[in-house]
Amino acid sequence: MKQYCSVCKDRFDMEVVEEGGENEVTWLKCPRCKGILPYMKLTDDTETVQADEDEFSAESIAESDVVEYDSQRTYEVGNVVYHRSWNDYGKVVEKLILPGDRQAIRVQFLNQGDVNLLENVPADEG
Ligand SMILES: [Zn+2]
């Protein structure tokens, strides 16, 4: 039986080690890693899990697009920033205006999660 092995990340014609009855699981053996795995009915147009295009991941970072976060700079939605003290990358997902006309950006960081950071802070305010 053709079955996808998540360990080998491939499909193989597998040997049935235990035939399941109705509502029971049929167990297959992967010829490559010898792992035992439950048989799941597959159709040829197996749904592939589609990555959410808006999802921000380490793989989606293009090194050339990264700008280091600096509170005195301004950023645009979509910018990828690098926060030095956290050693973390984040994507600007929203521009915010805070009381007192202060500007901030909402950044989705890989490790820190959603964080609001100030931007365009005058130099003398540190
Ligand atoms: Zn396998």
Domain boundaries of the chain, sorted by first residue: 2-38, 58-125
Strand partners, 100: none
Number of C-beta neighbours around residue 120 at 10 A: 14
Residues surrounding ion ligand 1 at CB below 5 Å: 5, 7-8, 30, 32-33, 35
Asked if the model's pLDDT at residue 43 lies above 80, the reply is no
With 0.85 as the threshold, say if the pTM is over it: no
Asked if the model's pLDDT at residue 51 lies above 60, the reply is no
pLDDT band at 106 (very low <50, low <70, confident <90, very high): very high
Measured in Å, residue 64 CA sits from the centre of ligand 1 at 38
Q: What angle do CA 58, 51, 11 make, to 5 degrees?
A: 105
Q: What share of the chain is helix, strand, coil (3-state, %, to 5)?
A: 5, 40, 50
- Using the structure block, give the residue that is written with the tokens 């040997």: 15
